[in-house]
Structure 1
Amino acid sequence: MPTYNKLVRDRIPQIIHANGNRFNTRVLEEAEYKEELQLKLKEELQEYLEAREDSHAVEELADILELIHSLVEVHHSTPEELEAVRREKREVRGGFDDRVYLIDVED
């Protein structure tokens, strides 16, 4: 029996059961949950960085976005509030659309 000891998506136990397999799970306390979300974010980011095809990269970005939505709730906020902060920062400081690469700044 493989051991995973990691945070998984909510429906994974149902999928495992539907495949006729047995499993053990537990519900994480809030501090553990935050820590496991952060670990999962690192894992998904690494998978994104290693993606060689656009379709795989987009799939990993979707996983990252799902984790961000969960993390924003852990930080007592909402995806809508996060989006408002993102829009405000973009309005004040810009986005990354122009591909500007800063080399140096003279004092």
Structure 2
Amino acid sequence: MNSKDTFTILVLLVLYSPSAQGRPVVVETGGLRCKCINYVSRFIPIKKITDIDIFPSGPHCSNVEIIATLKTGKQVCLLSDAPWVKKMIEVILRKN
């Protein structure tokens, strides 16, 4: 490939890149978005949960996110508005 072919390919890449057409290029930076996409609202017995992480809302995400780690190792996002989740959080806070 000669320098003329290389130059032509570079010009085509620049012309057809998303940033050249005025569309934003989204670059994910560490942790600056919500962690949960899908939420579980069904009851999960507390004996099947090994750990719970609570992430308050903030500039990264407008939702309070509650992530439960099950004994199987699977992590699930709990629906924070579910009555059983609210009750479980209250019980945990009282214990601590």
TM-score (norm 1): 0.23
Q: TM-score normalised to the size of structure 2? A: 0.25
Structure that is richer in strand per residue: 2
The structure whose Rg is larger is: 2
